[in-house]
Amino acid sequence: MTIEGVLKDAIEYYTIDDSNKMKGAIIRQGRDVMSRLTLNTNATLSTPVLDSLKQVDMVRVFLNSSLSTVVFFLAILSVQLIYSLMLSDVDEKTYQYGMLRALGFRN
């Protein structure tokens, strides 16, 4: 015998921000169903939604680490770009002052 249950107001559970709280709410509902059955009932509780959440959590961790890596490299590139632009401005001013001195200007 198979008993299938559907969460009442499932949107309420699926929109919880913290995944641990979501898992806890779903498990509480499953335990509520199991507690209403008699002790003679041979039933097991399976939660395919929680299995899917594990996969989503793994994808979330991967994307977070990838995004952090990209942000880190972009920060390094931006620092190098700013340093390069500042160095180029100094070199250009040094060249201009050198040319003015070569033309006879004093200060």
Q: Is residue 15 part of a domain?
A: yes
* Local structure of residue 25 (DSSP, 8 states): H
Place of tokens 């990209």: 70
Q: Is residue 18 part of a domain?
A: yes
Checking if the pLDDT of 30 tops 60, the result is yes
pLDDT classification of 2: cutoffs 50, 70, 90 = low
Distance from C-alpha of 16 to C-alpha of 68, rounded to nearest angstrom: 24
Q: Is residue 66 part of a domain?
A: no
Distance from C-alpha of 100 to C-alpha of 107, rounded to nearest angstrom: 9
Q: Is residue 51 part of a domain?
A: no
Q: Is residue 41 part of a domain?
A: yes
**pLDDT tens per residue, range 39-89:** 677 777 777 777 777 788 888 889 999 999 999 999 999 999 999 999 999
Q: What is the DSSP string of 33-66?
A: HHHHS-TT-------HHHHHHHHHHHHHHHHHHH
Place of tokens 């097991």: 44
What is the percentage of the chain residues whose pLDDT exceeds 90? 35
Domain that holds residue 8: 1-46
